[in-house]
Amino acid sequence: MLNTNSINKAIIWACQKEVSSPKPGNVNCYSDAHQMSLQDFLKSAQAIAPILSQKNLSIGSMILKSVIATQKVVNCNTNLGIILLFAPLCKAIHHCHTREQLPESLSLLLNDLTIDDAKKTYEGIRLARAGGLGNSDLHDINNEPTVTLRQAMAYAKDKDSIAAQYLNNYRDIFDLGLTNLTLSINCGESIEWASAFAYLNLLSVMPDSLIIRKQGLSCAKSLMNQSKEILQKMNENNKISQIESDIILLDKELKQKAINPGTTADMTAATLLVYAFEQALS
C-alpha cells in the first residue's frame, strides 16, 4: 500500500506533468492561457496534495478543503475538475496493494458517498466559481443537496464528463486515458508527449464538457474532428512528438479563439495520477 507521503508525491507529479504537457488549448509548456499561468497550476498542486493524501478525510471534505487551500494561493479556478477527479482516487488507493485493485476499491467508495459529501462538494464548487454551470431544475448547485454525491453526479453525467466518471467507475480514465498513455510511453515518448497523446485520444471521442458549456456542442464536436485528424497524422509517423508543428498550430488556434478543453485536461491529470500510483506500487 502507498503511504501518505507517496500519495502526496504522486499528486504533485501528476499535476506538474499535466500542465507541462503540450496539450493544445490549455496552459502548457508553450504558453499560458485563459488568464491562468503554469505557475498558478504548480502552486495549486502544492496546496491540494497534503489534503488529498490524507487517509481519514471524507471525499466531500477533501474536495471542499482542497478548493479552500487553492484559493489561498491563486485567484482563479485552476483545478476544480482535478480535485473532483483526484479525491476518490486518492482515498481509494489507500486500500490497494496493486493498481489492479483500484477499480474495485473506487467502486466501493463511490457507492458509499453520502448527502454530506454532496453538501461539502456543492459548497466547494460554489467557492471555486466554476464557469458556465448555469441553473438546473433538479439538484441545482446553488441549492442544498438532498441526495448523495453519486446521485447528484448521476443527474449531471450526460452533460459533464467528470460527473460521468462517478457513475462509470472512471472507465474513461482507465480504458482510454491510461491505455493510451501507457501505449505512447512504450513507444518511447516522454511522459509529457505521452500525456498529449492520451489527451488527444480522450478529446477525439468525448466532446469536452467545458467547451460545450461555454461555446456549444458544435464547437466541441469540431475539436473532436481536429483531434482525430492529428492522431491520423501521428499514426503515419508513429510518434506524436514528430508532428509538433501540427500541435503548435492547433494550440495557437484554440487560444486565439479562447477555446479551453479544460475537462479533457482534468481527465488527463487523473490519468497521470493513476499511472503514478501504478508506478509507485510496482
Cα 260 versus chain centre, distance: 13
Q: What is the mean pLDDT of the chain?
A: 94
DSSP state of 129: T
What's the predicted TM-score (pTM) here? 0.95
Residue-wise pLDDT tens digits, 211-260: 999 999 999 999 999 999 999 998 766 789 999 999 999 999 999 999 99
All domains of the chain in start order, with CATH:
4-281 (1.10.4200.10)
Q: What are phi and psi of 272, to 5 degrees?
A: -65, -35
φ, ψ (nearest 5 deg) of residue 85: -80, -40
- Please give the pLDDT value at position 131: 54
More confident residue, 28 or 89: 89
Question: Residue 102: what pLDDT?
Answer: 98
Instruction: Give me the mean pLDDT over the 277-282 stretch.
Output: 96
Among 26-30, 132-136, 210-214, 233-237, which is the least confidently predicted range?
Answer: 132-136
First to last CA, the chain: 10
In which band, very low, low, confident or very high, does the pLDDT at 267 lie, cut at 50, 70 and 90?
very high
Interval 162-197: pLDDT, tens: 999 999 999 999 999 999 999 999 999 999 999 999
For the cut 50, the answer to whether the pLDDT of residue 203 exceeds it is yes
* Angle, helix 102-111 to helix 80-93, in steps of 10 degrees: 110
138 or 78: which carries more pLDDT confidence? Answer: 78
Residue tagged 461555454 (cell numbers): 214
